[in-house]
């Protein structure tokens, strides 16, 4: 079988990155593909059905499976139409930016604390990172209120089960 996660480096393919989005118990098998930057701009003028056709053709070519031409269900999300995210589910920094400035974007300004996924030290850009950042910011606030000590702000994350 296939793992469901792959990278397509074909410039003609609308999809670049695909991840397995199947539920942990194996029910509801799904893959989620990302159309990035210039490819998204290139496909924006097409209808949803035209994009679906191109995407399915790319998956059929990569997997060698004609079944990919006829998905059971298809959803798409255009992040650039989202008011608050402005085009992407996360920010993309050039190499070295987080190493150089990561601490700065996590620093509170007066009573404003930053807890977005981009401020996470692990899994930045993902839900896990958002949770880590939220918990860290909450502990920073608790420290400022005098409820916990400074060395309790950066707690190790528990192992996943």
List the binding residues for substrate. Answer: 34
The total of other beta-carbon atoms located within 10 Å of residue 117's CB is: 20
d(CA 131, CA 157) in angstroms, rounded, equals 10
Instruction: Retrieve residue 49's tokens.
Output: 């059905």
Output the known binding site: 34, 118
The total of other beta-carbon atoms located within 10 Å of residue 9's CB is: 7
Q: Let me know the angle formed at the C-alpha of 14 by 11 and 20, rounded to the nearest 5 degrees.
A: 115
Output the known binding site for FAD: 118
Q: Write a three-state SS string for 66-103.
A: HHHHCCCCCCCCCHHHCCCCCCCCCCCCCCCHHHHHHH
Contact 115, 137 (CB under 8 A): yes
């Amino acid at each position: 079988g296939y793992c469901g996660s792959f990278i397509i480096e074909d410039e003609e393919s609308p999809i670049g990155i695909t991840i397995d989005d199947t539920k942990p118990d194996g029910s509801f098998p799904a893959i989620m593909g990302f159309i990035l930057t210039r490819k998204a701009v290139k496909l924006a003028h097409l209808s949803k059905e035209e994009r679906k056709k191109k995407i399915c053709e790319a998956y059929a070519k990569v997997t060698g499976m004609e079944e990919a031409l006829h998905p059971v269900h298809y959803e798409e999300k255009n992040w650039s139409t989202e008011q608050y995210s402005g085009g992407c589910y996360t920010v993309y920094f050039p190499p070295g930016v987080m190493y150089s400035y990561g601490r700065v974007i996590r620093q509170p300004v007066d009573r404003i604390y930053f807890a977005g996924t981009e401020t996470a030290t692990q899994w930045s850009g993902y839900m896990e990172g958002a949770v880590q950042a939220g918990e860290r910011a909450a502990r920073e606030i608790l420290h400022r209120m005098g409820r916990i000590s400074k060395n309790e702000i950066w707690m190790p994350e528990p192992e996943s089960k």
